[in-house]
Amino acid sequence: MWHALRWALVEKDGCNAMLDFMFDPRELAPETIRVWSRHEYDRLVSLGMFAEERIELLRGMLVTMSPQGVAHSGITAWFAQWLIRHLDERWDVRSHSPYAAGDDSEPEPDVSVSPATNNPTEAHPSKAVLLIEISDSSLAKDRRIKAPIYAEAGVPEYWIVDISGDQLCVEVHTDPAPSGYRRVEILRDDDVLRPTQLLRIEIAVREIPWKR
């Protein structure tokens, strides 16, 4: 399945949303675009091919990641540390680490929560119960590209923490299906995040460090 390679931004519900498919690979026919498999990508990484770059594999494409600003890195660290403090040894919390989403995708979510394994160095996690992206310049990619990838992989819950505007909001994506997440809620300061797979975990949105 081909997805957008470029996007246009529109305003929706106080947060930037991205729409509009602007490149159709069918226009290249009979030529095609050669995509990479996740195993090929992992092999290149093991050979040190991208040692000086921040890269992730999305739909077989090698996609560069923008440098992180202070707010982005600080909120990422806050979520990771908060979850580590409040979850027990049954869970593996990682930040900026590869997630084996499918044969052609290995994104690097800002924060992931997966069931702990006996050997965490054996393979990248592939069974996350919660993925979090902190989104400013990456908001278009996180909504249009990563959300369908995570839904297809069966990730039950995906949060986009939108810091691109003046008001922080959290998009809570649940009920995954092959076509994408069927339920999206927008939470703001007066709301509370309650992960569906992590019982008794509650995070008030206003706790998230942000200019208010």
- Each residue's pLDDT tens digit, 81-134: 999 999 999 999 999 999 999 999 999 999 999 999 888 777 899 999 999 999
* Cis check: omega of the bond before 30, within 30 degrees of 0: yes
User: pTM for this structure?
Assistant: 0.85
Query: Which of 28-37, 121-130, 199-208 has the highest average model confidence (pLDDT)?
Result: 199-208
Which tokens go with 202?
A: 């509650």
Instruction: Find the helix or strand (DSSP H, E) in which 42 lies.
Output: helix 38-46
Asked if 110 contacts 76 with a C-beta cutoff of 8 angstroms, the reply is yes
CA distance 109 to 117: 19
Answer whether residue 39 shows pLDDT above 50: yes
Locus of tokens 């997630």? 99
Secondary structure string (H, E, C) spanning 78-131: HHHHHHHHHCCCCEEEEECCCCCCECCEECCCCEEEEECCCCCCCCCCCCCCEE
pLDDT attached to residue 30? 86
CA distance 207 to 54: 29
Please compute the mean of the pLDDT values over residues 62-74 and round it to a whole number: 92
Asked if 188 contacts 207 with a C-beta cutoff of 8 angstroms, the reply is no
Q: How many residues in the chain?
A: 212
- Give the rounded distance of the alpha carbon of 138 from its chain centre: 10
Q: What structural domains does the chain harbor?
A: 8-207 (3.90.1570.10)
CA distance 142 to 199: 26
Please compute the mean of the pLDDT values over residues 39-56 and round it to a whole number: 92
Residues 6+ apart with CB under 8 A from 93: 80, 83, 84, 87, 111, 112, 113
Asked if 23 contacts 4 with a C-beta cutoff of 8 angstroms, the reply is yes
Residues 172-184: b if buried by 16+ CB within 10 A, e if exposed: bbbebeeebbeeb
- Residue 33 neighbours by CB distance under 10 Å: 10
